[in-house]
Structures are given as C-alpha cells and as structure tokens.
Structure 1
Amino acid sequence: MSESASPPPPPSRAAFWQNEDWLAVIAAVPLIAAVVQGWKVQLPTLAWKSGADIGAVFSSANLTAIGTTSIILIVLGAIVLAASLGKRVLSFLCGACIVFSLAWLAQMLAANSTLKAYGLEYVIFALSLGLLWSHLLPVPEWLMSAVRTEFFIKIGIVILGAGMLFPELMKAGLPGLIQAALVIPVVWHFTFYFARKLKVDDEFGVMLSTAVSICGVSAAIAACGAIQGDKKKLSYVTSVVLLCAVPMLIFMPMLVKWMGLSEAVGGAWLGGTLDTSGSVLAATEMVGEIASKTGTVVKLSQNVLIGIAAFVISLWWSMRERSTNPNAPRPSAGVIWERFPKFVIGFIVASLVFSYGFTPEVAKSFDKPLKGLREIWFAAAFVCIGLETRLGDLAKLGGGRPALAFLAGQFINILWTLLLAWLLFGVFASKAA
C-alpha cells in the first residue's frame, strides 16, 4: 500500500434504536421503575406434585396472571423494537406469543416437586422445548421475528442488577469475592490456552473461556458483545453450558456429601462452578441451608464481575486486532466504548441505585416481583436458543473441539474452585472464628 493510500473507512455504527444493548436497557428501566412505584406483578402459583394438581396450575387465576404479564412484556418488547422491526412488528407479536407460551410451560414443568428435587430448573426445560419445536415443527419467518435471544437475556441481566446489593455482598461475601477473583483469571486463561491447542479460533475461545470462568450464558453474551462475535458460536456455547449443567446439578451435591465437606465449603464450591443462580440454589438446597446461603453469595460475587470482565475483554480484543491488522482502529477510548456491551452499564447502574438509593429492607421488598420478571425474560431467551439451534449444525461446528475445550476448562474450574473453597471457607474461616 502506498503512503498516500487512505485507510479503509471505519464500520458504520448502528443507531441506539438498532442496538439491542441499549434497547434492553430501555425495556428494563420502566419495568424496574414500575415495581419501585408499587406495580404488583401478577405471578402465577405453579408448584405441583402430581397429575391431580394440574387443574390448579391451569386455574383461571393463574391463566389470567400469565396472560396479563405476558401481554405487558410482549407489547413493551414490540414498542422498544419497533424501529428495528419495521413492518415485522405484527410478526413479532405473533411469534412472541408462542415463545412466551413455551417459556411459561417450561416454568410449569420446573415447578414439579419431583423434578425440582433433582435440581432441574426452568432453563433446561425452556431450551428443551425450543429444541423440540425446531426439530419437530416448522419455524416460519414470523416466528423467527420473535427469536430475540440476546435482547431477552440482556433485559433479564439489567433487572438482575437490581438484586446485587453491594453493602451486603461486601459484608457477607468477602471470601466469595476473593474466590471469584482467584478463579476467574486462572480458569479463563487455562480454557483459552487449551482451546488454542485444539485449534479453536480465538473468537470461540473467548466466549468459551468467559462462560466457564464467570457465570455461564450471561457472561458468554457479555463476551460476545465485547468482541462483536458470531451469534452461531454464541448459540453453541450456550447450548454446551446448559447440557453440561444437568449432570453437574445431579452429581456435585452427592460429591459434597461423599467427600464429607462442610456445608459452607460445599456451598462455595457449588456456587463457584455451577453456571446459573437457579442451578446453584437448586444444588445447594440438597446440601443444606448454610450451603444455600454461601453458594448464593459466591455466585453473586461472580455475577458482579461481569462488568469488569466485559471491559477487560473489550480492551484486550481491540489491542489484539491492532497487533494483527495495522489498519484496524487504534484501541482508543472510543473503540473500547464501541465494543463494550452497553447492557452491562444498565446492570451496574441498577445495582448501584438499589444498593445505595434504598435501605436494605426496602430493596429486598422488590426481590420477588423483579425475580419473577427476570425469570420470564430468561425463560423466553432459552426457548429462543432452542428455536434457532439445530443440533446437527452444532455437531459440525468446530468438529467437537470447542466442546472439548469447554469440558477441559470446566474440569479445571471444579478442581481449582474446590481447593479455594476449602481454604477460604474451611481452613481460614475456622482460624478466624
């Protein structure tokens, strides 16, 4: 290239009304504000034990609650996405009815006492229902208009921020924060190193490493946004995370008891290795009350670090591109800002507002409705993952090497987290007592 040749023009930036990161924040804020202002979210009572209880699950009160809440969320989603959907708004509305119906069905299945005892949570059923539909039934274009996996999950993550109370976390979770800070870099670098050894491309490696080391799907989505990654690879990662979660949910609580670990150590181990807050709660409940409290604190400690991880990945990826391509944009503040997943800002702001804008008692009073809203969006997102995933295509993607890298990273995660949990919540805790 001659010195007079001009560099390639920078890629055009999408307006904020076309950026799902900002749109997720715009959709989450009014829901959070409405709850704060006293909105009593209509949440159905879904718990059931046997076929004799099914009638109560499908009672008129429950169906009214499901219908009312779904209409509010679907219409809100359509309004926020209207500019980017254009003429497909009606298609989105129709498709979203299917998606949310499957999401509620997944929550109903997960509410069965027997299935709950095995630790099978709604995200597993939501993914399974989506996969069954995509493999057995047609997925027309109007339905695909409502398959907005990242948009739905990002809304849920912003709402999740409202439950992250920093004062409580710092008071009760200092060992959890230390554990998370020591686990994340070690597991991330090992998984990424192993992925490279298996000749998995770096884009894939970043999403896999972040999912294993932090908190599964939410972290993988933040990493994908930070590197502007391939959505097919993200679907692969989320599917692997959920498939791996099932045996871990079942066998790890058994291992806690078999190894004779204390409830605190066992809870910290489960909280640091299982990839969703729901799976942590389900698994630790099999161990005991102390395990549930400890596991929850450890998992929240990891969730808090999503924002830091997204920033570091944005910075590193920008510098990496510059080192391999001289024409790539310099890793300036503007480039990093462009790559940084904006929904993480909503997550952090929500956490700060609820941590310092309300008393702990008032902030906790919002937990139930916000948790209900968050889980509906998450369930819809996992249905979408199933609808847009073809298992045959996933098997061909990378020849199975990305899954092997994930499993290797998870193996190291289990061993390293066990050692840290034993030290921080066992040895050192007993000395401090």
Structure 2
Amino acid sequence: MSVLSRLRLLAPGLAVLLGIAGIARVLGNSIPALSPLIVAIALGATLANTVGVPDWARPGLNTHSLFLETGIVLLGVRLTLGELAQTGPIVLGLATGVVVFGVLYMELVIGRLFAIRQRTTSLLAAGASVCGVSAVLAVAGSIDVDETDITYAVATILLFDAVTLVLFPVAEQSLHLSAKQFGIWTGLSLFSTGPTAAVGFAVSETAGQWATVTKLVRNTFIGVVAVGYAVRYATAETDQIALSKVWNRFPKFLLGFLVVVLVANLWTLSAGELNFVGRARSWLFLLAFAGLGFDIGFDEIREAGLKPVLLVFIHLLTISSLALLIVVTIF
C-alpha cells in the first residue's frame, strides 16, 4: 500500500480523534475542574458505546497507541539524569516490589478465595501487577488459555482502568500529596499506561511525569512475568511460543524513552524548544486518550462477571494502600 493510500485510509479516523481532542481541549481550558485528558477519554468512550465505531474510522482510531507511545518517549526531554540517579533506584525497588508481591498475592492468597480458573487468575495477576491489557496478552501468548479466559481478564482490567480514571484524581484532592508523591503512587497502583499518564497529568505536569516514569519501570517486567508463566505452565509448545511472542509484546517504546533522556541530557534544549516539545506532547496525549476511550466497551465489562472483579478489587485496594503508605513515608 502506497503512502498516499495509507493516509487516505487513516484520515477519517484521525479526523475523529482530532475533533475529540479539540473539544476536550476547549472544555478543559474553559472549566478548570475538568482535565482535557479525562474529557477526551470520556468523549471517546461515550461515542463508542452509543453510536459505535464505524468501519471507515477504525484504522485511524487504532493509531492512538502510536500517539501514546510517542508522547511517552517525549517525556524523556524533561527528565534529568540527576533526578533518575537520586530517585530512580528507589522507584525501581518499589516497582519491583509491586510486581513480585502483586503476582504472588494474587496467585497464592486472594486467588484461592475464589473459584476462578487458574489460568484466568494468572492473566489477572499479570494485568494488575505489570501493565494492564498488554501484560494479559503477553502472558496469554506464552501459555495455553481459552478465549474466554482472555475476554474475562481484559474486560476486568478495562473496568478498573475506567474506575481509577475517576477515583484517583478525586483521592488526590483529599490526600493532600505532593505532585511527586501522587505521581509515584499512581504509577505503582494503576494497571495500564494510558490511564496512569492521564491521571497523573490531570493533576499536574510533575505528577504526570513521575506517574508515567514509575509505570514504565513496572512495564519492563512484562517479559520476565510472561516467561515465568510460560515456565510454570511449561510444555514443549508453550516454551517455543514464549520466546517468540514475548519480544513482540514487549513495549519497545521504552527504549526510545531512554534514548531521549540521554540525548536531552547531553544536548541542552532552549526554553522555546522545551515549550514546543511540551505542546506537541500535550496534543499527542489528547489524541491518544481520545482513541483510548474507544477501547472501553461497556458490554465487555458487564460480561466479566463478579468474581474476577472482586479478585482484582482486593488486589488494587491492597497494593494501592501499601504503596500509599510507603510513598508517604519515603518521599
């Protein structure tokens, strides 16, 4: 397919994303209590669950993950190596603790309280502890699971992505945390990268940066967790699948983020250049979150059932409470 044909295919959906982003920007600027990013997600979800997603718009709408990944990469422009050296090891330790404790807690403790298929529990453990739907799909690609298991796990994760988008900004107003504390707490607690960044930037630029960076550290464990589950459910076939598919699922934009951090620290950007990058990143996130809203299907969420929801709710409540206590104590 030629570049021109590709652009024609993507243009209608991109126009929809741009329209939603523009409306969200206007509403957010007009009403201080509204975050443009949250508005963009809400508008996308409303359209998806009322009028649906027409085939002519789908290719363009599916580009939202590229916008999100590019926006995250550009976050590296404002992150200094000094900040990483000072706080990075602590964040790494906390993120490691969340992943290890989260998986074991789901598998060995709360997972045994509910009569849910073991492999469904494993998918939920990966999604809640590492990086949401991406981790669910990565683990599903490395072990033998039914489509029903994947559907339940994805729907449950998406439900909590939607709920935490609303609850965490509200919690920030009553907890009186600093921007850095709230950002790190959000990055340790939420499941998926998009909602984590949206919640952080809904509070402030600093909170958004720390939320995203902390979440990126958790995301790097996707390969380890997927391979670990492949070994656990080992057969000759799944061992081969794990090695080939885990790398495909690995969030490679993390490497781009690290490159940008390094380059930005070696070549100092002017205030004008930093402002330009900031504006570009803001629009990229608006486009990404508008598309993210189209992924929130209320019918799929309803199909998840009560048991997986209770399982993940207990996990989220425990992890977020412990993370809050630790973050407030350390930072």
Q: TM-score range with shorter-chain normalisation? A: 0.7 to 0.9
After superposition, give the CA deviation of every residue in 1:304-349 in whole Å (9 maximum; x if it has no partner). 3422x1221231233234x2xx341435xx8425322466233224
Deviation at 1:203, TM superposition (A): 6.2
Residue 372 of structure 1 and its aligned partner are, at CA, apart by 3.9
Match of 2:226 among 295, 314, 325: 314
| Residue number in structure 2 paired with 1:20 | none
Q: Is the 8 A contact 2:199 2:208 kept in 1?
A: no
Q: Could you say which residue in structure 2 is the equivalent of 1:253?
A: 173
Contact kept in structure 2, 1:161 and 1:348, CA below 8 Å = no
One-letter amino acid of the counterpart of residue 18, structure 2: F
Percentage of identical aligned residues? 17
Name the CA shift for 1:404/1:366 in 2 (closer, same or farther; >3 Å).
Answer: farther
Match of 2:92 among 177, 201, 215: 177
Distance 1:80 1:167, change over 3 A: farther
Equivalent residue for 1:346? 253
Shift of 1:399: 0.9
> Contact conserved, 1:235 with 1:385, CA < 8 A, in 2?
no
Root-mean-square deviation over aligned CA pairs: 3.9
Name the structure 2 match of 1:108.
26
| 1:328 equivalent in structure 2 | 237
Shift of residue 79, structure 1, vs aligned partner: 4.2
CA distance in 2 between partners of 1:201 and 1:273 (Å): 24
Residue by residue, what CA displacement relative to the aligned partner does 1:236-295 show, whole Å, maximum 9, x if unpaired?
5234213223122113431x24xxx78876675456435623423544x6xxxxxx8588
In 1, Cα distance between equivalents of 2:25 and 2:219: 26
Is contact 1:271–1:296 with CA below 8 Å preserved after alignment?
A: no
Task: Look up the match of 2:309.
Answer: 403
1:414 maps to what in 2? 320
User: 2: distance between equivalents of 1:304 and 1:199?
Assistant: 32
Q: Could you tell me which runs of 5 or more consecutive residues in structure 2 were left unpaired when the two chains were aligned.
A: 142-146
Shift of 1:350: 3.6
Q: Which residue of 1 aligns with 2:45?
A: 131
Distance 1:146 1:265, change over 3 A: closer
Q: Distance in 2 between matches of 1:169 and 1:363?
A: 21
Structure showing greater radius of gyration is 1
1:371-382 equivalent positions in 2, closer than 5 A: 371-382=278-289
Change (3 A) 1:178 1:140: closer
Tell me: higher relative CO, structure 1 or 2? Use CA pairs within 8 A at least 6 residues apart.
Answer: 2
CA distance in structure 2 between the partners assigned to 1:376 and 1:207 by the alignment:
33
8 Å CA contact 1:180, 1:298 repeated in 2: no
Aligned residues of 1:269 and 1:295 also touching (Cα < 8 A): no
Cα distance in 2 for partners of 1:266, 1:154 equals 22
1:94 partner letter: P
Q: How far did residue 150 of structure 1 move? A: 4.1
Q: How many residues align?
A: 317
- Matched letter for residue 408 of structure 1: I
Distance 1:203 1:154 in 2: 29
Amino acid at match of 1:175: I
1: distance between equivalents of 2:239 and 2:265?
41
SS of alignment partner, residue 142 of structure 1: coil
Query: 1:365, 1:134 → 2: CA distance?
Result: 38
Structure 2 letter corresponding to 1:407? F
| C-alpha spacing 1:147/1:408, structure 2 compared with 1 (3 Å) | same
TM-score where L is the length of structure 1 = 0.59
The structure where helix makes up a greater share of residues is 2
The answer to whether the Cα contact below 8 Å between 2:75 and 2:209 also exists between their aligned partners in 1 is: no
Structure 2 partner of 1:198: 114
1:264–1:294 contact (8 Å) kept in structure 2: yes
How far 1:234 moved relative to its partner?
3.6
Question: SS in structure 1 opposite 2:237?
Answer: coil
Offset at 1:162? Answer: 5.4
CA shift in 2, pair 1:337/1:178, >3 Å: same
- Give the C-alpha shift of residue 131 in structure 1: 2.4
